[in-house]
């Protein structure tokens, strides 16, 4: 990208990875002092190209751009001209707070809760194609966003656990979790059922679940266990590769709070228990392949949700990483 007043260069980071000959993540650094309207004008012109690069590289980290506030981040994302995916319409199980109609806090879960690698909302039938993150304030320690090339993970998993990979591909997955009656910000998955399902009564909640193909079970304390229809465990990418597009690692490792037990969170599509060794190997490969985005104030990351997984490391201090989601494109 080069404009009269804007010079952007590819740069590198310590421990940056390379897959299929491409850097992971791709890092684009703004090398000139400039203002946001100029950046947004360039983004508008190059949006399509950047989205193509996100599909190829999985993650693009924009560093050194003049993005300082939630409003700036909103303008940066809006300049791409992509459809917004509003949090309130999603079936996300995270508690979040909106800052603007398209910008919200990434997850209100406490600092000592690790959020495991996942594809955003792949445990629901409705998911975004892309995510943007913005670092408004880095944590004092920790708080990186690990990202992982999911197509590379799938390739390695299929080589190491071929039967597990065949079972996942053939059977798909079902997820089950308990939603509280009121938001519980102490949990990484504490969004209430009235908020998640945009319902005020049980009858409305049941109607919405039935429409989405879920089954459900009311709990004595007013909470709701919801179980998804069979969802695919993988996704074919336009370039012919396959990604591990699911929430298997997060659900089997991390869906844990006062209501939820990870051992009940996920099964094959036919209801059978997952192969434990295979699930552990997927998590191990996720650890091996994770790259921790070392947030600096003002950083923006664009994640292709079909190609790369993301999570959140534990942290100390105040961490403000905001997010914005894009409804399916391409």
Binding site for Fe ion (CB under 5 A): 120
Q: Would you state the structure tokens that stand for residue 108, as one six-digit string?
A: 């209100």
| Closest residue to Fe ion, based on beta-carbon distance | 120
The answer to whether residues 143 and 318 touch, using CB atoms and an 8 Å cutoff, is no
For Fe ion, give the closer residue by CB, 72 or 120: 120
DSSP 178: E
Q: Which two tokens stand for residue 83?
A: 């459809």
Smallest distance from the beta carbon of 250 to Fe ion, in angstroms? 8
Q: Which is nearer to Fe ion, 8 or 144 (CB)?
A: 144
Nearer to Fe ion, 64 or 311 (CB): 311
Question: Between 34 and 260, whose beta carbon lies closer to Fe ion?
Answer: 260
Token pair in block for residue 243: 């990604």
Q: Quote the radius of gyration of the chain (alpha carbons, Å).
A: 19
In terms of CB distance, is 108 or 120 closer to Fe ion? 120
Q: For Fe ion, which is the closer residue by CB, 120 or 184?
A: 120
The two tokens of residue 59 are 């993650």
**All residues at 6 or more sequence positions from 64 whose CB lies less than 8 Å from its CB, including other chains:** 29, 30, 31, 298
The least distance separating Fe ion from the CB of residue 229, rounded to whole angstroms, comes to 21
Q: How far is the CB of 310 from Fe ion (least distance, A)?
A: 6
Buried b (16+ CB within 10 A) or exposed e, 7-21: ebeeeeeeeebeeee
Minimum separation from the CB atom of position 35 to Fe ion (A) = 31
* Both tokens assigned to 16: 């940056």
Which H or E run contains 226? strand 224-227
Considering the complex, what minimum distance in angstroms separates the CB of residue 106 from Fe ion?
Answer: 7
**H or E element at residue 77:** helix 70-78
Do residues 76 and 36 lie in contact, with contact meaning Cβ atoms separated by under 8 Å?
Answer: yes
Other CB atoms within 10 Å distance of the CB of residue 236: 12
In the complex, least distance from residue 11 CB atom to Fe ion, rounded to whole angstroms: 26
Residue 133 or 268 having the CB closest to Fe ion: 133
CB of 287 to Fe ion, least distance (A): 17
Nearest to 28 by CA among 299, 263, 330: 299
Which structure tokens are listed for 99? 């800052």
- Shortest distance, position 141 Cβ to Fe ion, whole Å: 21
Which lies closer to Fe ion via its Cβ, residue 188 or residue 298?
188
Please name every residue paired with 26 in a beta bridge, in sequence order, or none if there are none.
60
Q: Which two tokens stand for residue 8?
A: 């952007």
């Amino acid at each position: 990208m080069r404009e009269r007043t804007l010079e952007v260069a590819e740069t590198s980071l310590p421990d940056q990875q390379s897959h299929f000959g491409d850097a992971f993540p791709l890092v684009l650094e703004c090398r000139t002092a400039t203002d946001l309207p100029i950046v947004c004008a360039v983004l508008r012109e190059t949006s399509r190209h950047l989205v193509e690069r996100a599909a190829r590289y999985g993650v693009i980290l924009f560093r050194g751009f003049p993005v300082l506030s939630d409003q700036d981040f909103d303008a940066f994302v809006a300049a791409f001209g992509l459809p917004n995916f509003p949090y309130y319409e999603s079936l996300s199980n995270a508690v979040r707070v909106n800052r603007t109609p398209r910008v919200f806090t990434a997850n209100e879960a406490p600092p000592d809760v690790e959020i495991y690698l996942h594809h955003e909302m792949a445990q629901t039938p409705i998911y975004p194609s892309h995510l943007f993150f913005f670092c408004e304030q880095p944590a004092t320690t920790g708080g990186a966003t690990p990202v992982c090339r999911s197509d590379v993970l799938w390739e390695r998993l299929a080589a190491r656990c071929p039967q597990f990979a065949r079972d996942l591909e053939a059977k798909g997955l079902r997820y089950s979790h308990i939603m509280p009656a009121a938001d519980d910000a102490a949990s990484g998955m504490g969004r209430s059922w009235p908020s998640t399902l945009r319902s005020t009564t049980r009858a409305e909640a049941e109607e919405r679940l039935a429409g989405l193909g879920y089954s459900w079970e009311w709990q004595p304390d007013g909470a709701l266990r919801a179980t998804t229809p069979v969802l695919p465990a993988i996704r074919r990418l336009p370039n012919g590769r396959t990604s591990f597009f699911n929430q298997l690692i997060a659900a089997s490792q991390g869906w844990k709070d006062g209501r939820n037990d990870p051992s009940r969170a996920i099964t094959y599509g036919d209801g059978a228990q997952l192969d434990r060794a295979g699930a552990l190997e997927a998590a191990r490969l996720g650890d091996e392949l994770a790259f921790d985005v070392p947030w600096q104030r003002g950083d923006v990351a664009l994640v292709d949700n079909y190609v790369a997984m993301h999570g959140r490391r534990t942290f100390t201090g105040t961490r403000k990483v905001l997010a914005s989601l894009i409804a399916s494109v391409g």
